[in-house]
Structure 1
Amino acid sequence: MANPHDNLTLQMLDWLQQRPHSYSEVMEVWRSSCPRLAIWEDACADGLIASEEGASGRILVSEKGRRLLQSAGGRH
């Protein structure tokens, strides 16, 4: 069985690619206080996320994140 954390990371990256999302929207959906499910924080640390400058900037999937999604076979 695949790691649930990895599956959630792929799900978040796929969600981010579907349409532009603001930082506040991403935090509302993906921020967690559970140290075992730090999907957002780990994706940022792993370089899978990019963002536009400013508080109202959009959150984007980085080139590294797009490669990960592609290697995983698309939507999750």
Structure 2
Amino acid sequence: MARLKGGRAATDEEWLAFAARADKAALVYGVATTGIHCRPGCPARTPLRQNLRIFDSRAGAEAAGYRACKRCGGGQG
């Protein structure tokens, strides 16, 4: 699968929160190599940091070509 673009790289604080599965951020996390976007706290396997992309909304991630995660719903509520 081709690597998707869009979003921005995670800051150190965002990466630590994502890796710890903190469910407090209002961001959507996309994985460039799989084309999937997840909500904070998703139980799916943690991607490599360089593959993580940050979006302000689910709509933004989907506009960039990412689809919702089947485990967490991709931030839909």
TM-score by length of 2: 0.25
Higher strand fraction (1 or 2): 2
Higher helix fraction (1 or 2): 1
Computing the radius of gyration over CA atoms, which structure comes out larger, 1 or 2?
Answer: 1
TM-score by length of 1: 0.25
